[in-house]
Amino acid sequence: MHILYLWQFLSLFILALPSASFAAVLAIDYGSDWIKASLMKPGVPFDVLLNKDSKRKIQSSVGWKREDRLFGGDAFNMASRFPSDSFSSLKLLQAAPYESEAVSYYTTISTAQVTETVRHTAALKQSDGTEWSVEELIAMQLAYVKSLAESIAGEKVYDVILTVPAYYSQFERDAVADAIEIAGLRTLALINDGSAVAVNYAMTRTFPTPEYHVIYDAGASSIRATLVSFSTDSKTSTTQITVHGVGYDRGVGGTELDRRVREILADQFVAEHAKDIRKDKRGMAKLWKEAGRVKSILSANTEAMAHVESLAFDIDFRSKVTRSQFETACEDLKSRYVQPIIDAMANGKISSDKLVSVIFTGGSTRVPMIQTAVKSLVGDDKIALNVNADEAAVLGAALHGASLSRQFKTKDIKLTDILAHDIQASYLAAPAAEGAKTRTITTLIFPAGSKVNSKKTLTFKRKEDFRIHFDYKTPVASGFPTQLLEVEFTGVAEALGNLTERGATNNVVKATVQLSESGFISVTEAIATGDIKDESITGKLKGLFGGSATDSIDEETASAGSETPIEADTSSSSSSASSSSETPSVPSQSAEPKVSLKELGTIKLNFTSHLPTITPMSVDEKKKARSRLRALDLEEAAKVRKEEARNTLESYLYRLRDLLDVENKETPFKKCSQPSERQAIAEKLEETFSWLHDEGDDADTTVLLDKRIVLESLERPIQHRYQEIEAFPQALNNSQMWNWSTRLFLTEAHQNLTRETEAGLPSKWTKEELDGLEKALREHETWLNIWVEKQKSVKSFEDPVIETTEMKARAKVLETHLQKLAKRRVPKSRKTSTTSSSSTSSSTASPNETAVPTTEPEKVEQQIPVDGSEQVPLQQSHPEEVRDEL
């Protein structure tokens, strides 16, 4: 496994940009049970992020223990004590209508209370009545992951790529994008989880010949199968990944298996104790946790013992579950385990003989009956366990996210993904005659299997304003609506009238529909366009051979699409399409710029997009949600600061008490303090201990800090005395060293000055400068001798009469004065004659080499009393054991 990570790391090469700072990319694989994350940043190893407990995956849970918010395993484990305040498996509720089957199913596996939002989606309510939308709760978890990434990156992280199931509708993708935005992140892209695993698989491999594989992802919320082909261009070394088909089952997964194990345990409890455990929320929460443990044991053993102390009604529960019991309870699911593989291969039109392998990923692939079902379909020899079942998706998403950013240079992997659902457009046909019955025209514009990151241009022969409805052909899930998007085009009659005045014929309306890389559908452009004849010779020749200036109908082209979902009730105007070829221009009669026939025959139309059913959160709703989360973060940060202040004060009190309680021992603290000072500290210490015990839990952070400051002010003089005693020998040696260096310099400088004066040569210094330095030296020596003598009579528990800071400052003045003269260059002498010049040079070379010693002279062995009786050598500090005691 570590070798695989090494290869994955070596597959990523970072390219530095000279004019831009590096930006980190965060990849998140958000699952129903677990969250995995990876950070792409120069200098940070390419691996999975660890949480605060150094674990590689985080439980997908958020909860409250009274007023404290918890994440991960802490939140999940709190469900047995606070069943209405712990929220897990939130992925099942993303964008789910309140009346949908997904919400009904969620109530069977969770003890949380589900309520309805104003958007008719699901929300969860705490025991204190606080209500949170699913988007807000997921945003909290994403923000928690963001904080982990920032602690490693050492900077803010904004861009994120997040995995989603291929079957996710635009409603669910909107909910994911809203949660990302509320968490303070930016959506770089959404990637289908099967495609992310494919990228991870291709990271360390090449494919000389095309290969077909099925990515079989058995997760907690569902089972997905993705048919993928891999090929490598031998010339460019580019690896092409193409998704050909997908299959899925939303109702089968690890969560359903856990539910059935819990039902077995609940039935056993009822049969043994004749009490309905299903009415006890805490008991059911405890059983849910135990069911997950039992399922994991049964994956490797034929039986498992379940044991829960005080499960409910003060009863300790113990029971045995066998693998045969478990498989019998799941008998009806066996055919559904392999159906996604069959569907994916059918959608991709690939026969089983072309299939190289079925790559297992997802935690539920460890369940023996799922493995048996897949092996019976494709054969044991085609089962591949060569990717990390838990981490392949997030590592592949991270690499794909890095490839989308200009900050990184990665292995050249091209991914082509597809749409999982049929999307059709419907609109009312123009009435054939006045009073005629209107009819609806429906066109399948993006059938399932259409490539993402593409667009289509729809052509309409309309003369008035009209609307287009974009719908899913069939419901994406039980209880979900089919109406996806409604777009209204306005200003059609006026635009067509203007085109007619310009001489245009065959006037039509064209709308460009974009299917983005992340799976969002939107209308990006709307125009009214027509044909204008070109009267030039070139135009006539083009007309003779069938040339036309109009675009083809239903043209499908590849395009880079916007990753931002359409907001409800927002409008946009299209940009003019760029011409693919040069066309003759209309002769200009003035200085105005030339206009091509293409531009002359095109007029932009205004259009408004509206989401008629499950609307994403509005801008105001997201701002409000973000403010709520921000208030929570600030409140928790204040709690952390208060707790740190309280812990710091408490530890400081115990340290002071230890200093005061040492009996019959002359510690440095006692030597440097007076009895009255120790008495004052002891009284304040006792008072603070009593206050901390009675009122410390309710005190503000500032009060806790003030209490410590008062005690520190009493201790500070004692600490200062000890610090001065320790620093005094070194400071004195330093002062005496500069005295010695200055005296040595003056002796040599005076000798050189005398010789140079007698020889008539220029000197580096004047007599006045040397006299000034000598005066500074005498003043420093006098000051030092006087105050050192005064310091000798000072006791260790008395304040020093001379501060080491002042000693250092005065020594620095002398040092600066000395260095100023010592570093001066020899002035150039006048050339009188060749003989005299050479003679002068030879005679003055030695005196001008006066230098200041840069190494410390021999240390003075003088001793100075610090407390009236004990003599402390200047070059010897207090013993280490004394320093440690203080």
What span, in angstroms and rounded, lies between the C-alpha atoms of 313 and 324? Answer: 30
Q: Which residue has 């979900």 as its token pair?
A: 480
In tens, the pLDDT along 318-372 reads 999 999 999 999 999 999 999 999 999 999 999 989 999 999 999 999 999 999 9
In tens, the pLDDT along 74-87 reads 999 999 899 999 99
| Buried-exposed string 605-629: b where 16+ CB fall within 10 A, e elsewhere | bbbebbbebbbbbeeebbeebbebb
What span, in angstroms and rounded, lies between the C-alpha atoms of 865 and 868? Answer: 6
Q: What is the pLDDT of residue 594?
A: 64
Average pLDDT of the chain, as a whole number: 84
- In the chain the domains, ranked by start, together with CATH numbers, are 2-254+333-416 (3.30.420.40), 423-577+598-617 (no CATH), 715-885 (no CATH)
In tens, the pLDDT along 841-868 reads 444 444 444 444 444 444 433 333 333 3
Nearest C-alpha neighbor of 489 from the set 403, 398, 427, 551: 427
User: Cβ distance 518 to 555 under 8 Å?
Assistant: no
In tens, the pLDDT along 589-600 reads 444 556 677 788
Q: 763 falls in which pLDDT band (50, 70, 90)?
A: confident
Nearest C-alpha neighbor of 837 from the set 767, 754, 762: 762
What span, in angstroms and rounded, lies between the C-alpha atoms of 575 and 766? Answer: 82
In tens, the pLDDT along 683-699 reads 999 999 999 999 988 89
What span, in angstroms and rounded, lies between the C-alpha atoms of 415 and 395? Answer: 15
Range from 57-61, 62-66, 663-667, 739-743 carrying the lowest mean pLDDT: 663-667
Q: What is the pLDDT of residue 667?
A: 86
User: Cβ distance 366 to 372 under 8 Å?
Assistant: no
Please state, for a pLDDT cut of 70, what percent of the chain lies above it. Answer: 83
Q: Which residue has 């090449």 as its token pair?
A: 206
